[in-house]
């Protein structure tokens, strides 16, 4: 929290948040009188990553890939099925209620929809003061703290007695951020914080998040489906597909030297607002749709749509179905991990 903690020093130390083999399954119940469990939706299947202080990890993927479930399991809003979430070395999944409450002072979340995540019936000051009151910190000049928080996120403290409906989408998202910052957390989970906003508004919120990180030394888990936004804000990026991380690397490395066929397709599918470059670009079109997470494909989960697999020999293609590729360093170093058997064939 002090200015002395430069990000470079922080990265060298132990991670502030470590996620190990996180699994979250939702049971599918039968419709008979006895509601037997007849299967499971494998929303998150063994996700691991570290976040250091002052660092941003971007978690990207398409709808249904498990990124939101991951963020909720980390905060124990939905208890994980198995795996560990280590916050400063302590396992969140095994905490008692009291410990969890104390943990939440250090780890907060900003939700996607600024229209649904603020209580419409209480004023903005009350919304921002709520976490302070719950944690018994309001007595210590609560009103002053709220005003300071509003100033911090670029809102006029005089407007504290207004209701959420009097603010625009971008301003509401700033209110959500102020509420999350009220307890001076160390980690902020941002679940698609800008995807509901228009572009001209979005840029202001992104800049605000970057400034807050520099000022307060926060660690971010930034969940998004928009790769351009993630490229802009994240130090490290993890790409998820059907409940698994398929590639994780430092931002520049991921976008310039991506190895996994899915990452490549994802990057090539993003339109760039530059007509000349758009005309020259070649798109990798991935066929089909994401398979159901209730019955994921064996081996590599991307194999059913993989453009690379179509070019492989029969024996190699069989390996994709038989053996699950491990998330490992495949020759790039620098912590660039890829889960694909045939990264060399992609060159």
Tell me which residues touch another protein (CB under 8 A).
62-63, 151-159, 162, 165-171, 198-204, 206-208, 210-212, 225-229, 231-233, 251-252, 255, 265-279, 281, 283, 285-287, 289
Q: How far is the CB of 96 from another protein (least distance, A)?
A: 38
121 three-state secondary structure: coil
180 three-state secondary structure: helix
Separation between Cα atoms, residue 301 and residue 304, nearest integer Å: 7
Q: Which is nearer to another protein, 9 or 211 (CB)?
A: 211
Q: Which is nearer to another protein, 102 or 257 (CB)?
A: 257
Separation between Cα atoms, residue 51 and residue 221, nearest integer Å: 8
Separation between Cα atoms, residue 131 and residue 228, nearest integer Å: 32
Q: Which is nearer to another protein, 103 or 209 (CB)?
A: 209
Separation between Cα atoms, residue 229 and residue 195, nearest integer Å: 9
DSSP string, 196-221: TS-HHHHHHHHHHHHHHHHHH--EEE
The answer to whether residues 271 and 288 touch, using CB atoms and an 8 Å cutoff, is no
Separation between Cα atoms, residue 136 and residue 138, nearest integer Å: 6
Separation between Cα atoms, residue 113 and residue 121, nearest integer Å: 17
Q: Which is nearer to another protein, 31 or 279 (CB)?
A: 279
Q: How far is the CB of 225 from another protein (least distance, A)?
A: 7
Q: Which is nearer to another protein, 170 or 217 (CB)?
A: 170
Separation between Cα atoms, residue 280 and residue 21, nearest integer Å: 41
Q: Which is nearer to another protein, 103 or 175 (CB)?
A: 175
Q: How far is the CB of 16 from another protein (least distance, A)?
A: 21
Q: How far is the CB of 339 from another protein (least distance, A)?
A: 18
Q: Which is nearer to another protein, 187 or 237 (CB)?
A: 237
Q: How far is the CB of 256 from another protein (least distance, A)?
A: 10
Q: How far is the CB of 76 from another protein (least distance, A)?
A: 28
Q: How far is the CB of 45 from another protein (least distance, A)?
A: 20
The answer to whether residues 213 and 5 touch, using CB atoms and an 8 Å cutoff, is no
Q: How far is the CB of 74 from another protein (least distance, A)?
A: 23
The answer to whether residues 84 and 93 touch, using CB atoms and an 8 Å cutoff, is yes
DSSP string, 128-144: HHHHHHHTT-TTTTHHH
Q: Residue 339: in which H helix or E strand, if any?
A: none
Q: Which is nearer to another protein, 135 or 159 (CB)?
A: 159
């Amino acid at each position: 929290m002090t200015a002395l903690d430069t990000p470079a020093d922080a990265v060298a130390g132990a991670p502030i948040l470590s996620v190990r083999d996180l699994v979250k399954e939702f049971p599918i119940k039968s419709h008979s009188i006895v509601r037997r469990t007849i299967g499971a939706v494998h929303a998150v299947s063994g996700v691991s990553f570290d976040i250091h202080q002052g660092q941003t990890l971007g978690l990207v993927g398409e709808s249904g890939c498990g990124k939101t479930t991951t963020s909720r399991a980390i905060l124990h809003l939905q208890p994980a099925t198995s795996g560990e979430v280590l916050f400063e070395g302590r396992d969140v999944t095994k905490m008692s209620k009291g410990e969890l409450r104390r943990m939440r002072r250090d780890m907060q979340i900003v939700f996607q929809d600024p229209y649904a995540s603020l209580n419409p019936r209480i004023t903005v000051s009350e919304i921002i003061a709520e976490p302070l009151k719950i944690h018994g910190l309001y007595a210590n000049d609560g009103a002053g703290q709220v005003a300071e928080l509003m100033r911090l996120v670029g809102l006029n403290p005089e407007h504290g007695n207004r209701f959420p409906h009097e603010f625009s989408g971008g301003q509401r998202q700033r209110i959500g951020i102020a509420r999350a910052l009220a307890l001076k957390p160390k980690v902020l989970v941002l679940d698609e914080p800008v995807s509901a906003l228009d572009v001209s508004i979005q840029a202001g919120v992104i800049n605000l998040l970057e400034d807050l990180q520099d000022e307060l030394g926060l660690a971010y888990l930034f969940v998004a489906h928009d790769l351009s936004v993630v490229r802009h804000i994240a130090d490290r990026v993890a790409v998820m597909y059907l409940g698994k991380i398929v590639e994780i690397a430092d931002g520049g490395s991921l976008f310039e030297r991506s190895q996994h066929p899915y990452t490549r397709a994802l990057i090539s599918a993003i339109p760039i607002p530059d007509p000349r470059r758009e005309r020259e670009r070649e798109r990798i079109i991935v066929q089909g749709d994401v398979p159901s997470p209730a019955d994921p494909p064996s081996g590599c989960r991307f194999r059913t749509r993989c453009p690379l697999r179509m070019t492989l020999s029969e024996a190699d293609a069989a390996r994709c179905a038989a053996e699950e590729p491990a998330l490992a360093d495949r020759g790039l170093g620098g912590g660039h991990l890829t889960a694909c058997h045939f990264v060399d064939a992609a060159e």
